Amino acid sequence: MRKLILLAALCCPLAALAAAVIEVDSHHFTRLPVQGSVLQLERVAVADSGTLVIPVGVSEVRIGELYLGRDAQIAIAPSNERLLLDIGTGRIAAGAQISAPGAPGTPQQAAMPGRTLVIRMQSVSTEPWLLDARGGRGAAGYAGLDGADGKAGGCAWGKASAGHDGQDGSDGHPGAPGGQVRLEVPSDFPVEHLQARLDGGPGGPAGAAGNAGRGGASKGCWIYSTRAGLDGRPGTPGQPGTPGHAGRLDVVRF
């Protein structure tokens, strides 16, 4: 039945999604269908240890009734765009979480910060739950290349060359900041049940130093051999990347 509902949601225009009921079975993973930047759902139920994914491109999700089972989660894809999550009524069980951390960096792209969120809950009962909007980890620095070995000299003439120096490793890339979260809840909402993780992402590890090249040395000589070349110098390792700064949680009561 759940598959039929999701198939209908994928095949119908966005207006039809307003009456959708999304159900995620225990220990299963479901991605919300994307019909536009704004999704309006009548009911969302994620069973114990299930995961519902909100993909990139969605900027607003309105849920009439939400149920998050034990250790269930709503996983929000990393993005630099703000997301509004508006929940009417519902229940959040112990260990459930709303997860919106940033993405780790790569050599070509900087780490992404934790998501900027506005979470509005009208009438939602909760047990201890987690909000995770940590920043992404910085990419590692490049390792320095090893120095080339020197060329060997002759047994009676010629000169061995010195080994080449290893290259320096580059610095690790900085971590991204934690997310900026605004939680809008009624005056009697138990904020003490919320554990927020808004740490900045750790900096990337330093690039390793390149090894020194060995000096050239004569081989296979019986009586005479030319002097061996000097070894090169090893490179210097880079510095670890700087961690991102912590995010912020603002609680607004109404």
* pLDDT one-digit tens code per residue, 186-227: 999 999 999 999 999 999 999 999 999 888 777 767 665 667
Across the strands, what pairs with 90? 66, 124
- pLDDT band, residue 33 (cuts 50/70/90): confident
Query: Which H/E stretch holds residue 6?
Result: helix 2-11
* Domain-located, residue 214: no
Give Dmax over CA atoms of the chain in angstroms.
94
In tens, the pLDDT along 34-89 reads 778 899 999 999 999 999 999 999 999 999 999 999 999 999 999 999 999 999 99
Count of domains in the chain? Answer: 1
* Domain-located, residue 36: yes
* Domain-located, residue 93: yes
Tokens (6 digits) for 201: 């992402």
Report which residue type is found at 24.
V
* Domain-located, residue 39: yes
Nearest to 146 by CA among 194, 218, 90, 207: 207
Nearest to 102 by CA among 27, 206, 174: 174
Cβ contact 59:38 at 8 Å: yes
DSSP labels for 73-92?
A: EEEE---SS-EEEEEEEEEE
CA angle at residue 81 from 75 to 84, to 5 degrees? 60
* Domain-located, residue 164: no
What pTM was computed for the model?
0.79
Tokens (6 digits) for 63: 């849920």
* Domain-located, residue 79: yes
* Domain-located, residue 145: no
